[in-house]
Amino acid sequence: MRREIVDQVATGKITPEEGAARLDSLESLESGAPSESPAPAATATAPARRVKVASVIGSAEIVGDPSIAYAVAEGPHRARQDGDTLVIEQGPLDENDSFSFGRGDRRTFVNSIDPARRKLKVRMNPDLALTAQVNAGSLRVEGVHSAITADVLGGSCKISDFTSPLELSIQAGNLSASGRLDSGASKVRCEMGNVTINLERGSSVKVTARTTMGRVSVESGGAEPVILGQSAKQVMVGSGAGSLDVDCTMGNVRVSA
């Protein structure tokens, strides 16, 4: 029975919290300890509807996998459930990420972090919404078909095969995304960096852009690129069923369809 519970957690059929609760219940039954009064009913944990992944100084890969009920992570990480959100955080830095040298009481510490060793891979149900954050590292998202929110504080992010609205924020770094948008409201905020969005066949959005000191260009149907600036001009891709709002401060945003 214990093995079955562990396997269910490993495959994502139940959350780690549910697995821990079932193991505790199993141990209580096996011990046969009498109880003076009936135990209060356990509060059911809400099923996860969203997955949040945070990557710091390392690389993270998130892949949509329909065989997974929620999400399964490989590599150094911590997981917890916050309401209906399953939160997966890259493991904290440890003493192996630095070394020191010196004489007597005087020592100098040198940072020796190797991002290549800090790899996190998450397989999640593609129909769950995703929130991802990358800080000084790289992030790759593939095959997640529900809404995606990504926040790049410093590093690079690549998203492929999206089919639902996006909300992307780039403070410093590079982001590329390729997929289909045909409904809902999508937003891109670029403070400083480069953003490339490739809208695949079947996309239908109205692109609106504003820029302060940056550049926003839209290429559609092989025509000459349209440069959008402070006038908040619009470009129609398809029939414009959805919307894509781009706000660029000092970066470079390119949208192609």
Q: pLDDT tens-digit profile of 90-119?
A: 877 654 544 444 445 554 444 545 555 679
Q: What is the CA radius of gyration of the chain?
A: 23
Q: What is 44-91+109-256's CATH topology?
A: Pectate Lyase C-like (2.160.20)
Decide if pLDDT at 21 tops 80. no
Tokens standing for residue 48: 């996860």
54 has pLDDT over 90: yes
What residue has token string 């969203």? 50
Comma-separated ranges of CATH 2.160.20 domains in the chain: 44-91+109-256
- Angle between helix 16-31 and 2-10 (nearest 10): 180
Share of the chain above pLDDT 90, in %: 54
Q: Tokens 């820029």 identify what position? A: 211
pLDDT (average), residues 182-188: 97
State the pLDDT at residue 173.
Answer: 92
How far is it, in rounded angstroms, from Cα 187 to Cα 173? 17
Distance (Å) of CA 110 to CA 57, 113, 115, 136: 16, 9, 15, 18
**CB contact set of 197 (below 8 Å; sequence gap of 6+):** 176, 177, 178, 188, 244, 253, 254, 255, 256
Query: What count of other Cβ atoms lies within 10 Å of the Cβ of residue 96?
Result: 10
Reported pTM: 0.75
Report which of residues 142 and 118 the model is more confident about: 142
The dihedrals phi and psi of 57, each to the nearest 5 degrees, come to 50, 70
Average pLDDT, the chain: 82
pLDDT score recorded for residue 223: 73
pLDDT of residue 221: 75
Is pLDDT of 199 > 90? yes
Those residues whose C-beta lies under 8 Å from the C-beta of residue 17, and which sit 6 or more positions away, are 45, 80, 81
Comparing 112-116, 172-176, 219-223, which segment has the lowest mean pLDDT? 112-116
Residue 133's pLDDT band, with cuts at 50, 70 and 90, is very high
Element (H, E) at 5: helix 2-10
Query: Between these two residues, 124 and 99, which has the higher pLDDT value?
Result: 124
Q: Alpha-carbon torsion 140, 168, 162, 223, what sign? A: negative
